[in-house]
Amino acid sequence: MLSVARTTHITSPQSIDHYANEQAAKISGMIVAEPDRRPMQTKYTVAVQTLDDRSVYGNVLITDNRGWPEYEYGDHITAYGKLERPGKIEDFSYDNYLSRYDIYAVMYRSSIEKTHNPQLTTHNSTLAFLFNTKSIFEHQINKLYPEPHASFMAGLLTGSRKGIPSNLMEDFNTTGLTHIIAISGYNITIIIVIITGALFWLPLKWRFLPAVFAIIAFTLFVGASAAVVRASIMGILGLIALQLGRLSHVRLTLLWTLFCMLIYNPKYLWYDAGFQLSFLAVIGLMELAPLLDKLFSWVPKTLGIREALQMTMAAQLSAVPLIIVLFGRLSLIAPIANMLVAPAIPLAMLFGFLATTVSFVSFPFGQLLAYFGWGCLQWILFFATELANIPLSSIETKGISLPMIVGYYGFIVVFLLSRSLWNSSSPVGNVSVSS
């Protein structure tokens, strides 16, 4: 309750949203987040310090449609445009979405110029370095791959969606593959699979620390945003569950972690779909993934392909109802699509990362590795586009009611409880537990 009170925004004459009345305004401040660059526009989160030469505070999301010049994190700028409050976009509560980042005012069309004032707040040099490194890496990806493969590879490795054609995004939505191009618990799972698969010759317990270090390095590399940090925490918890097999302890650890994250920002619980989906994905990894061992026993373990497919399906089973609620659509083709593309995703990420890294030292050798990454990407794009064209590959789910979703999760809970009770009461189960 104290945390909710702390994060509840109250408009005052000193806050910038008090003046968001759809009138022309001049604001000055600093870019305090990584710029969100898209094909036709760039969005900047600006911590405002003055409004028409009046001292104010608060964040404004500014949209620049010019595309040039480009501004970076830490730049001090002055923007001119119509200052207004965010509202709903069709059925999407855009205002609630932005409130997670403490943004309560927007400029949809603006004119921006860079300014310099030594008295203004300085930026975080560590974040500036991380964002700059990520930008250089994405630029190198664009040198190695054509479009849309370059944008797709950037989505896999850095979470960037800029440049991905709208028709391709629609195909991903239809086939239930959107989760692979946004840094989430799924991408962290792939990192775990690649590292543990590459270290197959080591005992299982010795692979734990390299996997954790790889997750931390990946988190720092892509900019350590709140969403990525959350996904990394969830991924490490899922890794602990799979490595130690102590589900009762990991369940408590997961709940305490969620509690601490919500103390930091309670708005994650209601307004952050990524937070909700990451939580359900980890639950799937902990509770459902072990039950799929026999189902995927026929899949080879090379490079962790079986683990990737098994974890993908477990996460899908636990998250499908929430996806239905959030997006109003159910992809009937999603299980098949995920089974077909899951083996190619870790290979695409592996060859993409190696090719881009090596190309800084030897560009021709990097290009050679990039061909393998391109083949994996082409495999995924082929099935995404072909399966999306199948009639009734996805259906509208507005008729799905809350009791049906509760019933779905209730069935899973009852099944897991009954299985647990059966294992604990049977002689075979008691022997296995004690051993």
Each residue of 155-179: pLDDT tens digit?
Answer: 888 777 676 777 888 888 888 777 7
Q: What pLDDT score does 433 carry?
A: 35
- Is the per-residue pLDDT at 288 higher than 70? yes
Report pLDDT digits (tens) over 61-83: 999 988 788 888 888 899 999 99
The helix/strand count (H/E) of the chain reads as: 17, 12
The answer to whether residues 118 and 76 touch, using CB atoms and an 8 Å cutoff, is no
- Whether 378 has a pLDDT exceeding 90, the answer reads yes
Write down the residue that tokens 């004690």 correspond to: 434
CA distance 350 to 354: 6
CB 180 within 8 A of CB 156: yes
Share of the chain above pLDDT 70, in %: 82
Helix (H), strand (E) at residue 330: strand 329-331
Reduce the DSSP state of residue 161 to 3 states and report it. Answer: coil
pLDDT greater than 70 at residue 396: yes
Task: Tell me which range, 54-68, 262-276, 310-324, 394-408, is most confidently predicted by mean pLDDT.
Answer: 54-68
Other CB atoms within 10 A of residue 382 CB: 13
pLDDT at 120 over 70: no
Share of the chain residues as helix, strand and coil, in percent rounded to the nearest 5: 60, 15, 25
Contact 49, 121 (CB under 8 A): yes
Summarize the confidence of residues 18-30 as an average pLDDT. 88
Query: Average model confidence (pLDDT) for the chain?
Result: 79
Please choose, from the candidates 33, 57, 31, 56, the residue with its C-alpha nearest in 3D space to the C-alpha of residue 46.
Answer: 31
More confident residue, 183 or 219: 219
> What does DSSP say about strands 42-51 and 23-31: parallel, antiparallel, or unpaired?
antiparallel
**Range list of H helices, 272-331:** 273-283, 305-327
DSSP 233-284: HHHHHHHHHHHH--HHHHHHHHHHHHHHHHHH-THHHHH-HHHHHHHHHHHI
Position 371 scores a pLDDT of 92
SS3 101: coil
- Contact (CB, 8 A) for 34 and 225: yes
Quick check: 2 pLDDT over 70?
Answer: yes
What pLDDT, on the 0 to 100 scale, is given for residue 346? 78
392 Rama class: left (phi>0) / alpha (psi -120 to 50) / beta: left
Q: Residue 138 is encoded by which pair of tokens? A: 């994405």
pLDDT at residue 275 above 90?
A: no
- Using CB atoms within 10 A of its CB, is residue 22 exposed (0-12), middle (13-18) or buried (19+)? exposed
Q: How confident is the model at residue 243 (pLDDT cuts 50, 70, 90)?
A: low
Name the band, by pLDDT with cuts 50, 70 and 90, for residue 257.
confident
Burial call 213-249: b when 16+ CB within 10 Å, e when fewer: ebbeebbbbbbbbbbbebbbbbbbbbbbbbbeeebee
Domains, the chain, ranges and CATH?
A: 2-123 (2.40.50.140), 136-159+167-400 (no CATH)
The answer to whether the CB of 79 falls within 8 A of the CB of 46 is yes
Confidence band (pLDDT; 50, 70, 90) for 379? very high
Helix axes 125-144, 344-359, angle to 10 degrees: 100
